[in-house]
């Protein structure tokens, strides 16, 4: 995603910056980084959702004890042998969706631009 996006940035833009005396670091900091905000926001959304949904790694690192269990494991423990508390399960599922939805909607305006920016070469 990022490689294609940075590859699609016009070379003339960087050449004119170098002619004006900018170093590689300055050209990256003042030209490439501000232009890549949509692609970086898309990457941040994807990375956050991948980490948020990664139950197996969380269980390995935290040991799987009841005190430090991630929210997704707590959701599965709501269904027990005494009955299925669907009202608790749906409420907990809604609460677990709040944070990813807040992240997505706050970065949504960059999402489509970031995905499409690195997809077409030309």
- pLDDT tens string 51-88: 877 766 777 676 667 777 777 777 777 777 556 777 88
The confidence score (pLDDT) of residue 23 equals 93
Select the more confidently predicted residue: 23 or 108.
Answer: 23
| The pLDDT of residue 114 | 59
57 found inside a domain: yes
Q: What is the pLDDT of residue 112?
A: 66
Q: Is residue 62 part of a domain?
A: yes
List the Cα angle 109/45/8 in 5-degree steps.
70
Domain count, the chain: 1
> DSSP H helical segments within the chain, as ranges?
2-8, 11-19, 24-27, 33-35, 37-52, 55-62, 71-77, 86-106, 108-117
The domain containing residue 19 runs over which residues? 2-117
Please report whether residue 97 resides in a domain: yes
Residue 95 has pLDDT above 80, yes or no: yes
34 found inside a domain:
yes
Tell me whether strands 79-80 and 83-84 are parallel, antiparallel or unpaired: antiparallel
Tell me the C-alpha distance between 44 and 111, whole Å: 10
Domain containing residue 96: CATH number: 1.10.3720.10
What is the per-residue pLDDT across 96-109, written as a single tens digit (0 to 9) for each?
A: 888 888 888 887 77
Would you say the pTM of this structure is higher than 0.75?
Answer: no
Is the pLDDT at 25 greater than 90? The verdict is: yes
Q: How confident is the model at residue 26 (pLDDT cuts 50, 70, 90)?
A: very high
Q: State the residue for tokens 């016009």.
A: 10
Torsion of CA 15, 18, 22, 24, to 10 degrees: 70
Is it the case that residue 46 has pLDDT exceeding 70?
yes
The answer to whether residue 10 is domain-embedded is yes
């Amino acid at each position: 995603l990022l490689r294609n996006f940075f590859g699609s940035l016009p070379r003339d833009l960087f050449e004119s910056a170098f002619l004006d005396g900018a170093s590689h670091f300055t050209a990256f900091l003042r030209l490439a980084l501000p232009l890549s905000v949509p692609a970086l926001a898309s990457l941040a959304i994807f990375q956050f959702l991948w980490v948020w949904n990664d139950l197996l790694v969380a269980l390995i690192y935290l040991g799987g004890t009841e005190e430090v269990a991630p929210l997704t494991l707590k959701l599965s423990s709501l269904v027990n042998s005494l009955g299925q508390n669907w009202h608790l399960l749906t409420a907990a599922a809604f609460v677990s969706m709040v944070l990813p939805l807040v992240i997505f909607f706050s970065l949504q305006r960059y999402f489509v631009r970031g995905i499409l920016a690195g997809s077409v070469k030309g």
